[in-house]
Structure 1
Amino acid sequence: MTTPADRAARGKAARKRAPRSAHAFWLPSVDRPDPVAVLERQGRDRLPELLPIRYGRMAASPFAFLRGAAAVMAADLAAQPHTGLTVQLCGDAHLLNFGLYASPERSLLFDLNDFDETFPGPFEWDVKRLAASVAVAARENGHGDPAARAAARAAVAAYRTAMRRLAGLGELAVWYERVDTDGLTALARSVRRRRRIEDTLTRARRRTSLHALGRLTETTGGQRRIIKDPPLLEPAGASDMASLRKTFSDYRSTLAEERRLLLDRYRFVDAARKVVGVGSVGTRCFIVLLAGRDVDDPLFLQIKEARTSVLEQHLPSGPYSHHGHRVVAGQRLLQAAGDVFLGWMTGPQGRAFYWRQLRDMKGSAEVAAMDPEGLRGYATLCGTTLARAHARSGDRIAIAAYLGGTDTFDHAITDFALAYAGQTATDHATLGAAVTAGVLTAAPGV
């Protein structure tokens, strides 16, 4: 049996493979892939009519570019030495992929909320993406580099501190860790900030399927139908509708028995294609309206295409051949509590999809409105949350030993984050130049 001392020794041994101070450096290699070429390759199997929306959203700002450029950063991270300390990575752990959602017990939790790129890999890849997103956001908010550095360091220090605390806990204690609303309000050091957090919580509690019924549907010919809002929300065509009805029954088989029974109490009403996010634009995504007891008892589910993770070409093979299964399994590993309707299936043309609730008290922070103190607090929360997620699947004792009790790792990742924020600004300008030159077509503001 491997003892905690053995596991700690393994973590410290990883410092020889990837010294903590070595994480500080970022210098693009001479054969670094062109970021626009990376995006174009991703677009080859996406819906071509939606790609201008993706490029338009990414061109809006450096932070928007970072959100859509997970594949670009994955290649950059793979070119650097890594620890070999494997966890289930989120794969896209930027600031806006954390947020609020409802647990099955109807408590509001704060956690990671996007898992399209989840894959087993070195723990520090998620930490670097989080820290880089903090630095990019701080610069975009006009905070200046000292404030950007302080916010990025707060995220990394919180990760290290939380991981070292979790290393001392038992297995069940770690598994049951979560960040609830008490943890959020504890961050507020002023009445104004506390009110802002409470407003965010109130809005999240309102975001339910019943609330969505009034916003996303209308009554036509005595029937509830999802509204048209092209190009972002389009009625599903006849072939898509037939496929969705078929895959609905296939998806059902991936749920636990009691949840199948619950799902069976709903009937299929309508479906529509929906454009979501930044990096996901162009992938196939639908929403489905179901009705339970009556038409005023709705359930909205989202069906999202699951594609190859941007991390896969840079890492050893993962345990799942079905990408929908990969996403669902990764989410269940990383989140403190899961969506009761989370499942997967194979859809038209053999494409992988996963299903989840569209709105279940989901809410996100307004990062663009944060002052330096607010961003530091939010970065701290995200770093703590990421450590909790990693501790569920990786060797927390080895990772904690690698990180150590000093701030060596904190400063190194912070230096990387500031340097990579500069790279992101350059890549964003490259995308803008490609749009101006007509190499890519962008639809801004959509």
Structure 2
Amino acid sequence: MSADKKRQKLISAELKRVDGAAPETQPVLDKHQKMAGSPFQFLRGSAQIFYADLAAGSLKLPEQLLQAPLTRIVGDCHLANFGFLTEEGSYGDTVIWAPNDYDDAAEGHAAFDLARFCVSLFLVADYLEGLGAGRYRSAEVFKVQKPPRKKDATRAAEGFLKCYRKALKKTALDPEKRDKAVKRFDKDHFLRKPLDKAKARAPGGKHFEKKSSVAKLAVRTRGGFRFDPENSKLAPVEPALADELEDVFRPYLDDAVLDVSRRLGAGTGSLSVERYYFLVGPAGETDGEAFRETHVVEIKQQREAALVHHFANLSPVNRMNPAHLTVDCQRRMMRRPDLVLDEAVWNGVHWLVRSRHHARLTVDPEDLLEADRPAMALKDYAKACGVALARTHSRGDRRSVRFERVMADALADKAEDLVDAAREYADQVVSDHSRLCEMIRKDGDEHAA
């Protein structure tokens, strides 16, 4: 079997293992269609392939980086899994910049997160350049003038690792630094405008009643707040199922259940995962104070973290059930985790229970094109992520600073090698994306014939 056929077989098998259907299967899954949009989207939906390549040695990271103590890691660490959010979920009003997706969090090598994030920088640069060249498409129209290039992604990756290492060194000297948050940016920083937008959506902000997470999903009725029946992201739930959901999950909720809906098509990696939303708040009240207390709680079917299958013996921590592991990691890694954060078993499946942050704002790759200097914006973005990720990793063990010291020393010697490995692997992802497109297109052509 040729190398190309072996690679295609690996991609098909790994996608089928996690998603339940191979990309050749008709009709093609929405998730696989979305992954075919660009190599960056492919990366977002195929974390299991990244870990398969690490386990097989197809992607080799500097050994010195793997000698650092294990810590809790994001698992699916890429540029679009950072954003602005309100601490303590829907109970707080402090807006910070931090990782915002812990569905694949587990105990592992910090270098896994660092490498995956650097790979994403190269793929984002490729995506933005490809929009201008017509290789990729976006649902929105963007004016593409000077997109970041591969050399700009290299500088962004170097800046990311430099800031990550610097933050680790500061924590090694003063352990209380691990509980500092990234929540301020200078007026000329690329993330300043998104920060101001997120703050306006937080409780007390001028756009809270129009732009917050709950405001986008709920409407005011005579009987109280309900989910908006016109919202395309939500689907009604049959009364019997709604009653069952409320009966099972009511102990985890802190107020009256106002409404229940099914959440449609969220994210890329979790696109095929079942999830429901509860609208929770004071019953029968519709004034501003009641709206402030109303929030959304998500019930999400939780799958095994991406790294666990290929690194089953890396840590006994990862033997927790999938939802418990996510809750455990999120409570450790976040400075002030959601106050509604738990796990439950329903119909033999593990479910994650968590509140939706009132102010949750992700900066999409396309937003970089709106900056005066997209290449500099990408670097600023990456550096902010480096600081936030270092503090997130540092919270895995609050008893010592061994991880910080060892990892900072290793990066002093091996950061350049890590960037080189990420750049090379990004090229592999571009090739894998082409293979996925061929699998989808070939099968579709055969069915059409």
Q: Give the TM bin, normalised by the shorter chain.
A: 0.7 to 0.9
The CA RMSD measured in Å over matched residues stands at: 3.2
Letter in 2 for 1:70: A
Aligned residue-pair number: 394
Q: Could you tell me which residue of structure 2 aligns to residue 150 of structure 1?
A: 155
Q: 1:92 matched to which residue of 2? A: 76
Show CA shifts across 1:104-154 (max 9, x none): 442111111111111111110011111111111122222222111111111
1:354, CA displacement in angstroms?
1.2
What is the CA-CA distance between 1:88 and the residue it aligns to? 0.7
| AA of the residue aligned to 2:409 | G
Q: Deviations over 1:176-201 (max 9, x none)?
A: 22212x2xx13x546x8744543454
Pair 167,209 (structure 1): closer, same or farther in 2 beyond 3 Å: farther
Aligned to 1:235: 236
The aligned amino acid for 2:356 is L
Aligned to 1:119: 106
CA distance in 2, matches of 1:109, 1:65: 28
- The equivalent position to 2:296 in structure 1, one of 288, 296, 300, is 300
2:396 counterpart (393, 398, 422): 393
Say if 1:87 and 1:136 are closer, same or farther in 2 by CA, change over 3 A.
Answer: same
**Structure-2 residue corresponding to 1:59:** 36
Q: Is residue 2:312 matched to residue 1:315? A: yes
What CA distance in whole angstroms lies between the structure 2 residues aligned with 1:339 and 1:330?
Answer: 12
Instruction: Sort the Cα spacing of 1:346 and 1:434 in 2 relative to 1 into closer, same or farther, 3 A.
Output: same
Q: After the TM superposition, which of the residue ranges 271-280 and 205-214 deviates more from structure 2?
A: 205-214
TM-score normalised to the size of structure 2? 0.78
Task: Name the CA shift for 1:232/1:418 in 2 (closer, same or farther; >3 Å).
Answer: same
Identity of aligned residues (%): 23
Matching of residue 132 in structure 1 with residue 116 in structure 2: no
8 Å contact from structure 2 (residues 237, 262) kept in 1: yes
Q: What is the distance in 1 between the residues matched to 2:393 and 2:191?
A: 29
Render the CA deviation track for 1:324-382: whole Å, top value 9, x for unaligned.
Answer: 211111111111111111111111x2111111222421111132222000010010011
Equivalent of 1:289 in 279, 284, 287 = 279
* Aligned partner (choices 365, 368, 374) of residue 367 of structure 1: 365
Q: Distance in 2 between matches of 1:210 and 1:238?
A: 29
CA distance change for structure 1 residues 329 and 29 in 2, over 3 Å: closer, same or farther?
A: farther
Change (3 A) 1:92 1:55: same
CA 1:66–1:385 in 2, change beyond 3 Å: closer, same or farther? same
Q: 1:49 to 1:115 in 2, by over 3 A?
A: farther
- CA spacing shift, 1:406–1:213, aligned 2, 3 Å: closer
Question: Aligned equivalents of 1:306 and 1:63: distance in 2?
Answer: 23
Shift of 1:270: 1.7
Q: For residue 272 of structure 1, give the secondary structure of its aligned residue in structure 2.
A: strand
Counterpart pick for 1:277 among 257, 267, 271: 267
- Alpha carbons of structure 1 residues 437 and 161: separation in structure 2 relative to 1, 3 Å: same
Give, in whole Å, the separation in 2 of the partners of 1:440 and 1:89. 41
Residue 301 and residue 319 in structure 1: after superposition, are their counterparts in 2 closer, same or farther (change >3 A)? same
Instruction: State the secondary structure of the residue aligned to 1:268.
Output: strand
Deviation at 1:223, TM superposition (A): 6.6
Report which structure shows greater RCO (CA 8 Å, sep ≥6). Answer: 1
Structure 2: runs of 5+ lacking an equivalent:
130-147, 369-373
